[in-house]
A and B are shown apart, each in its own frame.
Chain A
């Protein structure tokens, strides 16, 4: 275990859990504002429970082996997509990147 390995693992954690969590958090905030650093914290934590929850759900309840990451991943993506569609129905601009840290309608 070297510092490089650890740094790579940390980066992996951030990407895998932060990106889905960012979308989830944005939806859960329902247009309210948070400090950017708080959004980062919430995004990681929410992503952690959602991605882990999806894997847990598909592996334990649906009996899809976690080793087949694609199955768990597809389940997680479907869940994410459904919530994204719901959010987009309400505000088509909600998911634009520049509004991740802002409320809908803010320029």
Chain B
């Protein structure tokens, strides 16, 4: 029997997966249903934990932004919601799309409660989220295909995707939001819908990254209706809603959820009417949706796994289960957005991260398909063939990950930053009033430096119209009448990439810097 064909179920039974209570009898060491997810978990924690423990620091805008916000929360005691207040910012600054503070709350809480470093707290959260992503991918695949082998293959493929590894190391809230939305998918795929559990999970996803909900929301809705059966009617839902604990849960949800919903509203508004603020980013238009050859090959390889799986799905549409149909729709939409995204100047790695999960699930599905087609001869022979198939599929992915530059995060500032920020901290102490002006605004912010200019449109406006360094100095003096000193932080990114957008950056000579390292330069300018 082909794997895609769903066996007939007894009347009233909706899923092949039975949700049984915990029983010691089920925890047999030889039961793959038990050890397969445990192996996934342990592997995920080991792989990401090892990298987190051995890496110095993640070099990118996003992690520094969230670490800076965590540091601000622990120092000031208040959670910044819509505004980063002075003196943490140059002026009281509105937080535009994407930078909601929830990602920074958990590390700040842990830092206070356990007395640990914020970086350690972020790394711990990243490690746990990576493990949960693998486990959720395993469970979703297993729930849809009914095969633990497909599940564990999907989990392995997910972690072997360079983009996933890179995005995890960015500490970005999309990582956590993806966990929440995957858990919501899993809950909807379960035997009984659990409206409030799904609601909490959706709320969590929205709280961490509202824009992700714009992407996942419609797909979850389709999933919900695809899974809907006569057993869950509006009457049933009403009965559930009027129970005491449901009302209590709803009230508590509403209380904690209101700020998150406000964040969603603001994000929707900016997404629809204002647009994402990537003023400083180099345009993605015309660029290939990959960063390196090895990653391009690897992503093509993963696509090559998924395409035949989709072909099988399409050819057997009538016999496959609703979950797989929903997955196919998800896959199609994500890839359409993935290839369409560069045309809209949107960072494509974000979509690569989104698309990695359904692709991994389909990869696992394809493995299951191949294994089920193996000759049903002797058990030993079949196991050997299965092992060979698994190695043939996972080995190239694992090799690609190992060779990929994305195994380490996108290096922006490099190892000199700590010295540079140490210098800046000392220099700003003796300066009565100062402004830190840098295209890499989150770098000093992460180190707790005050008076950082965050408004990208202001930074871009000054740099775009300036023709000389002197011109920059005078424009800064006009913009900040109360400041006596301006510290300008430039890095290799400023020179090599942002210099293409703002040529004046190329005019800052390294010889004139008050602090110079191979990757970071700091200039101190007085008023004009």
Structural contact, B245 and A34, CB atoms closer than 8 A: no
Within 8 A of B (CB), among A3-32: 3, 5-10, 12-14, 16-17, 24-25, 27-30, 32
Asked if B244 and A10 make an inter-chain contact with CB atoms under 8 angstroms apart, the answer reads no
Q: Is the CB of B124 within 8 A of A10?
A: yes
- Roughly how many angstroms separate A38 CA and B187 CA in the complex, as a whole number? 9
Neighbouring B residues of A56 by C-beta, 8 Å: 79, 101-102, 105, 207, 256, 259-260
B 483-500 binary contact with A (CB < 8 Å = 1; else 0)? 000000000000000000
Looking at the assembled complex, report how far the CB atom of A34 sits from the nearest CB atom of chain B, in whole angstroms. Answer: 6
A17 to B240, CA, bound (A): 27
Please give me the residue from chain A that is nearest to B56 by CB atom. A1
A102 to chain B, nearest CB (A): 4
Decide yes or no: A1 and B123 within 8 Å by CB, A57-B259, A65-B78 being known contacts. Answer: yes
Interface of A is mostly: helix
CB nearest neighbor in A for B136: A41
Chain B residues with Cβ below 8 Å from A2 are 53
For residue B201, CB closer than 8 A to chain A, the reply is: yes
The residue on A at minimum CB distance from B208 is A49
A32→B197 CA distance, assembly (Å): 11
- A103 vs B22: C-alpha distance when bound (angstroms): 10
Query: In the complex, which residues of chain B have a beta carbon less than 8 angstroms from the beta carbon of A57?
Result: 255-256, 259
Query: Distance (Å) between the CB of A7 and the closest chain B CB?
Result: 8
A residues less than 8 Å from B109 (CB atoms): 16, 51-52, 55, 66, 69, 72
Alpha-carbon distance between A44 and B119 when the two chains are bound, in angstroms: 20
Find chain B residues with CB under 8 A from A27 CB: 245, 249
Most A-side CB within 10 Å, residue of B52, B176, B204: B204
B178-186, B282-290, B391-399: which lies at the A interface? Answer: B178-186
Q: What is the distance, in angstroms, from A84's C-beta to the closest C-beta of chain B? A: 10
What is the distance, in angstroms, from B150's C-beta to the closest C-beta of chain A?
Answer: 17
A106 to B21, CA, bound (A): 9
Q: Are B105 and A52 in contact (CB under 8 A)?
A: yes
State whether A83 touches B77 (Cβ < 8 A). Answer: no
B102 touching A32, Cβ below 8 Å: no
Q: How far apart are the CA atoms of A60 and B78 in the complex, in Å?
A: 7
User: Which B residues are in CB contact (< 8 Å) with A68?
Assistant: 77
A59: chain B residues at CB < 8 Å are: 73, 77-79
Contact yes or no, A60 B81, CB < 8 A: yes
Stretch from B188-196, B327-335, B356-364, B446-454 forming part of the interface with A: B188-196
- A77: Cβ under 8 A from any B Cβ: no
- Contact pick for A55, options B79, B183, B194, B203, CB 8 Å: B79
B462 at the interface (CB under 8 A from A): no
Instruction: Flag B392-408 by CB within 8 Å of A: 1 or 0 each.
Output: 00000000000000000
Do the beta carbons of A29 and B194 come within 8 Å of each other?
yes
Chain B residue nearest in CB terms to A4: B53
Q: What's the Cα separation between A69 and B20 when bound, in Å?
A: 39
Alpha-carbon distance A14/B110, docked complex (angstroms): 11
Instruction: Establish whether residues A8 and B116, one from each chain, have CB atoms under 8 Å apart when the complex forms.
Output: yes
Residues of A within 8 A of B37 (CB): 37
Output the least CB separation between B104 and chain A (Å): 10
Contact present for B252 and A63 (CB under 8 Å): no
Contacts A52-B105, A55-B109, A66-B79; is A30 near B116 (CB within 8 Å)? no
Interface residues of B (CB under 8 A from A): 19-22, 37, 45, 49-50, 52-53, 73-79, 81, 101-102, 105-106, 108-110, 112-114, 116-117, 119-121, 123-125, 127-128, 132, 135-136, 139, 176, 179-180, 183, 186-187, 190, 192, 194, 196-197, 200-201, 203-204, 207, 240, 243-249, 252, 255-260
What are the nearest 5 A-B pairs in CB distance? A65-B77, A53-B256, A9-B124, A49-B204, A67-B77
Query: 30 A-B residue contacts at CB 8 Å?
Result: A6-B53, A8-B114, A10-B49, A10-B128, A13-B125, A27-B245, A30-B246, A33-B20, A35-B20, A37-B135, A42-B187, A45-B179, A45-B201, A45-B204, A46-B204, A48-B106, A53-B257, A57-B259, A59-B77, A59-B79, A60-B78, A63-B78, A66-B105, A69-B113, A83-B245, A83-B248, A83-B252, A86-B245, A86-B247, A86-B248
Besides the contacts A32-B194, A55-B105, what 19 more A-B pairs have beta carbons closer than 8 Å?
A9-B123, A12-B116, A13-B124, A27-B249, A35-B139, A37-B139, A41-B139, A44-B128, A46-B197, A46-B204, A56-B207, A56-B260, A66-B79, A69-B112, A69-B113, A82-B248, A87-B245, A90-B244, A101-B22
Residues of A within 8 A of B (CB): 1-3, 5-10, 12-14, 16-17, 24-25, 27-30, 32-38, 41-42, 44-46, 48-57, 59-61, 63, 65-69, 72, 79, 82-83, 86-87, 89-90, 101-103, 106
